[in-house]
């Protein structure tokens, strides 16, 4: 995976093939040669084969980049969420999970993705909706306004939590609150990230009223 300015093998393949294609195209444009069979073969490389390699590898890298916290936090209204979850001192649910190696730099995607069969496609479609809403509604909204007003479309399904936290393990069932609310948790009636349970994943965006219900702000 490509993160920041570090290129992995696929990134290098993409850059090198793009550079080779660019050299072929520039030479063709500068030399103004007659179009012969040899020219056509070179242009097939410069306009077809090499750009297809570039597009393929850059697409994979691009889709992988869409899973990173850096990508999610690149819209200003998501900066508080991204900064908090990357804060090593934060005790919010999002930050605690981000410190787990399994979530790491992709913690937004790992929690918010759709785990169904077409999960990846559905998640990306949802992401396009976010881009549309950002362009049409939230682009010029100050953080003071966006923090208390932007909310998740529908509550995070418990199934996403249960993807890692099984509700059948003896250790989990030994917790009295888990045992008493087992059916509600499994059916999704009671959210794991709700007031009285594990609290909000992103408490820094909540209104005072919401925090009071949750027992006060967390550090």
Q: Which is nearer to another protein, 57 or 205 (CB)?
A: 57
Torsion sign, CA atoms 200, 203, 207, 212: positive
Q: Which is nearer to another protein, 38 or 168 (CB)?
A: 38
Binding residues for another protein, rule: CB under 8 A, are 2-5, 7, 11, 14-15, 18, 21-22, 25-26, 28-29, 35, 40, 43-44, 46-48, 51-52, 54-55, 58-59, 61-62, 65-66, 68, 70-71, 74-75, 131
d(CA 135, CA 79): 16
Question: Which tokens belong to 210?
Answer: 């919401």
Q: Which is nearer to another protein, 68 or 146 (CB)?
A: 68
Closest distance between another protein and the C-beta of residue 88, in Å?
22
Closest distance between another protein and the C-beta of residue 107, in Å?
15
Q: Which is nearer to another protein, 13 or 211 (CB)?
A: 13
Closest distance between another protein and the C-beta of residue 63, in Å?
8
Question: Which tokens belong to 61?
Answer: 């890298």
Closest by CA to 112, choosing from 136, 94, 87, is: 94
The residue whose two tokens read 């913690």 is: 107
Strand partners, 6: 3
Q: Which is nearer to another protein, 1 or 162 (CB)?
A: 1
Closest distance between another protein and the C-beta of residue 72, in Å?
8
Contact 195, 217 (CB under 8 A): no
- The packing angle between helices 9-31 and 50-65, to 10°, is 140
């Amino acid at each position: 995976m490509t993160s920041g300015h570090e290129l992995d093998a696929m990134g290098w393949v993409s850059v090198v093939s793009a550079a080779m294609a660019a050299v072929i195209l520039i030479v063709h444009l500068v030399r103004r040669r007659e179009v012969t069979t040899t020219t056509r073969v070179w242009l097939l490389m410069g306009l077809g084969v090499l750009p297809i390699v570039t597009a393929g590898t850059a697409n994979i890298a691009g889709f992988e980049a869409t899973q990173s916290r850096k990508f999610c936090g690149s819209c200003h209204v998501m900066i508080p969420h991204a900064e908090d979850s990357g804060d090593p001192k934060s005790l919010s649910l999002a930050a605690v999970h981000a410190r787990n190696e399994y979530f790491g730099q992709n913690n937004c995607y790992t929690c918010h993705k759709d785990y169904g069969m077409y999960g990846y496609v559905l998640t990306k479609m949802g992401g396009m909706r976010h881009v549309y809403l950002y362009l049409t509604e939230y682009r010029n909204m100050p953080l003071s306004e966006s923090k208390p007003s932007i909310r998740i479309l529908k509550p995070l399904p418990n199934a996403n939590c249960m993807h890692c936290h099984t509700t059948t393990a003896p250790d989990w069932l030994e917790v009295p609150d888990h045992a008493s609310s087992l059916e509600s948790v499994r059916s999704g009636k009671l959210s794991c990230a709700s007031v009285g349970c594990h609290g909000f994943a992103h408490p820094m965006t909540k209104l005072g009223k919401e925090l009071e219900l949750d027992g006060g702000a967390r550090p």
